[in-house]
Amino acid sequence: MGRHMQTQATAFSASRPLVVRNPLPTPEYRQVSADTENSRALEHAMLRAGAVMSFCRSEEIFGDGEPADHIYRVLAGTVCTYKILRDGRRNINAFYLADGYFALELVDRHSHAAEAISGAKILVVKRAALMVLAGRDPAVARQLLVLTACELARVQDRVLLLAKTAEERVAGFLLEMAKRSKGNSIELPMLRQDIADYLGLTIETVSRTLKLLKDHAAIEVSTRQVVLLNRSTLSRING
Amino acid sequence: MGRHMQTQATAFSASRPLVVRNPLPTPEYRQVSADTENSRALEHAMLRAGAVMSFCRSEEIFGDGEPADHIYRVLAGTVCTYKILRDGRRNINAFYLADGYFALELVDRHSHAAEAISGAKILVVKRAALMVLAGRDPAVARQLLVLTACELARVQDRVLLLAKTAEERVAGFLLEMAKRSKGNSIELPMLRQDIADYLGLTIETVSRTLKLLKDHAAIEVSTRQVVLLNRSTLSRING
DNA sequence: CGGAATATTGATCAAGATCAAAGCGAGTGG
DNA sequence: CCACTCGCTTTGATCTTGATCAATATTCCG
């Protein structure tokens, strides 16, 4: 029954996160999204008030149920948020790549745990400080609402994904990852187990389904990379 | 399945700063539902600016993809939001009972359809008008953020529900409905098909699972009513 | 290299879907 | 008041998808 369990406890306590206060904003951290003015305001506020922390692979950023005192932004690397269910299964809620914000929830305790999937640099800001800034700068306040609404839309999309067959879920996942990449080549920073836990499948099914898509000449697969050969086939499969 | 990007710049920037009063994170943000002062402000605003509309059973309130010009609040009756998938299956996103707000999304088109499950009275407010009010009254603005965050938490709970077995899903659904009722008796305004579409099951499985729970002496079942006889058993099953 | 972690592949199993057929219950008309 | 009907629900039999169990195979790193 029980699937993948975390067994990295020793690794966590071994390496203490490196903290750097008030880092200078570097160009690559200044990616401008569609909502330019507002996102710049929040970005700026976080860079001024925040600290950069580094996490290595599988290192926990925060635990499920811990006080939610901070808001986070991925500067580099990949992060996932997840929950361990009572039967031991792990449910991955989201993958956050560079520029993604996470732990935006308005409750006093985290409803998920978060960990780095690859080595990651994370910008961390005290929630209270950000709320003060939001009170002073309406652009910041509004951007928080926009980001929360985006997160809501993303989770709703995931519900739809979970309603589908294994083949549709994997195709949908690849298309989702492709949207975040350039071109047709997708680097996969996560393990097969992570993909499985995100899609509500087993690693065996993920593996078999990738093979199936490969045999349908829709993709090329290697361990850490997928190349989309035929997006229309994938989209059709995605349903 | 494209996600929508935020395009409400005019509505929000139209008037005064959105200010979050009481920016201290605790304990204000803890009991979001008991956020009396703010919820009253939004309630008042909606009652002043809104119109009451009546819908009969199965009547559409808005369609998937239609312009999202309004925000809604249930005054009486029950509403559901749903999506029809490409293969014809229907996915119910949420049930809203009296006092529930829906269509809070910050995008310019609805990502779901909504219909009345029983006869319903709905308070309808123009989104633009509400955004103007939100600009004038920070309590309204903040309550919008709180409600959006609540909706996010609700959808995340539903993802967890969908990860479980049929028995766990039905038990979880009953406990969720019980939280919204007084005592142990739950009136079910929706059909078995609606429950099935909400839980990602078939009506046959819902029916059989209710029987199973009845045989385990956890509930009493009739067509439109369920009585919880043994909450601890249900909670245990819920996982 | 070598050993552990991760991934693939194959065989079997089980939960829930699908197909099929009654039951039930509220509204209708004779 | 009772039979008829229609939509909803329950129950039963079978089938399918993806999980589980079990071996390899591959990749990653010391």
Q: What is the average pLDDT value for chain A, to the nearest integer?
A: 86
pTM, two decimal places: 0.86
Assess contact for B160 and B168: CB atoms under 8 A: no
Measure CB to CB from residue B111 to each of A86, A104, A156 and give the nearest one: A156
Reply yes or no on whether the pLDDT at B7 is more than 50.
no
Cross-chain Cβ contact B23/A141 below 8 Å? no
Q: At what angle do helices A166-179 and A138-162 cross, to 10 degrees?
A: 150
Give the nucleotide at minimum CA-to-C1' distance from B201: C16
Reply yes or no on whether the pLDDT at A21 is more than 70.
no
Share of chain B above pLDDT 90, in %: 70
Assess contact for A148 and B148: CB atoms under 8 A: yes
User: Tokens in use for A76?
Assistant: 């580099």
Give B168-214 as a DSSP string: HHHHHHHHHHHHTSSTTEEE--S-HHHHHHHHT--HHHHHHHHHHHH
Q: B99-131, pLDDT tens digit by residue?
A: 999 999 989 999 999 999 999 999 999 999 988
* B88 vs A3, higher pLDDT: B88
Backbone φ and ψ of A123, nearest 5°? -90, 125
| Pairing status of strand B90-96 against strand B60-62 | unpaired
Residue of chain A whose Cα is closest to the Cα of B1: A157
Q: How far apart are CA B145 and CA A135, in angstroms?
A: 13
Give the pLDDT score at B141: 79
Give the pLDDT score at A15: 34
CB atoms within 10 A of CB B203: 14
State the average pLDDT over residues B217-235: 95
Cross-chain Cβ contact A106/B24 below 8 Å? no
Q: Which of A32-36, B17-21, B162-166 has the lowest mean pLDDT?
A: B17-21
Task: Find the helix or strand (DSSP H, E) in which B226 lies.
Answer: strand B225-228
Q: Which of A47-56, A82-91, B33-42, B139-148 has the lowest mean pLDDT?
A: B33-42
Q: Which of B58-62, B81-85, B144-148 has the lowest mean pLDDT?
A: B144-148
Please give the angle made by the CA atoms of B149, A148 and A24, to the nearest 5 degrees.
Answer: 130
HSE-CB of B208 using CA atoms within 13 angstroms: 7
Q: How far apart are CA B164 and CA B237, in angstroms?
A: 10
Q: Which protein residues have their Cβ less than 7 angstroms from some atom of strand D?
A: A 1, 3, 165-167, 200-202, 204-205, 222-224; B 191-193, 203-204, 206-208, 210-211, 221, 223
Cross-chain Cβ contact B155/A156 below 8 Å? yes
Task: Find the helix or strand (DSSP H, E) in which B125 lies.
Answer: strand B120-126
Ramachandran bin of A127, using left for φ above 0, alpha for ψ from -120 to 50, beta for the remaining angles = alpha
What's the pLDDT band for A16 if we cut at 50, 70, 90? very low
Chains A, B: CB contacts within 8 A come to: 139
State the average pLDDT over residues B146-174: 97
Query: CA of A209 and C1' of C13: distance in angstroms?
Result: 20
Give the pLDDT score at A42: 87
**Chain B interface test: which of A87, A106, A125 (most B C-beta within 10 Å):** A106
Give the pLDDT score at B62: 98
Q: How far apart are CA A122 and CA A116, in angstroms?
A: 9
Q: How far apart are CA A160 and CA A172, in angstroms?
A: 10
Give the pLDDT score at B74: 97
Going from the C-alpha of B176 to that of each of A125, B69, B193, B222, B238, the distances in angstroms are 34, 30, 18, 18, 11
Q: A105-132, pLDDT tens digit by residue?
A: 999 999 999 999 999 999 999 999 988 8
Going from the C-alpha of A96 to that of each of A72, A82, A118, the distances in angstroms are 10, 12, 11
Euclidean distance between the first and the last CA atom of chain A, given in angstroms as a whole number: 30
Reply yes or no on whether the pLDDT at B142 is more than 90.
no
Give the pLDDT score at B217: 83
Share of chain A above pLDDT 90, in %: 70
Q: Which of A81, A92, A221, A75 is nearest to A161 (CA)?
A: A92
Q: A152-201, pLDDT tens digit by residue?
A: 999 999 999 999 999 999 999 999 999 999 999 999 999 999 999 999 99
Which amino acid belongs to residue A210?
L
Looking at chain B, list the stretches that DSSP marks H as alpha helix, in order from N- to C-terminal side: 9-13, 36-49, 127-136, 138-162, 166-179, 192-199, 203-215, 231-238
Q: How far apart are CA B162 and CA A131, in angstroms?
A: 34
> What residues of chain A lie within 8 A of the CB of B162, using their CB?
159, 162-163, 200
State the average pLDDT over residues A50-67: 96
Reply yes or no on whether the pLDDT at B90 is more than 70.
yes
Give the pLDDT score at A36: 60
CB-contacted nucleotides of strand C (7 Å): 6-11, 15-20, 25
Q: Which residues pair with B72 in a beta bridge?
A: B102, B124
Give the nucleotide at minimum CA-to-C1' distance from A204: C8
Give the nucleotide at minimum CA-to-C1' distance from A200: D18
CA distance A131 to chain B (A): 5
Q: How far apart are CA A73 and CA A82, in angstroms?
A: 16
Backbone φ and ψ of B193, nearest 5°? -60, -40
Going from the C-alpha of A207 to that of each of A54, A151, A187, the distances in angstroms are 31, 28, 16
Share of chain B above pLDDT 70, in %: 84
* A4 vs B199, higher pLDDT: B199
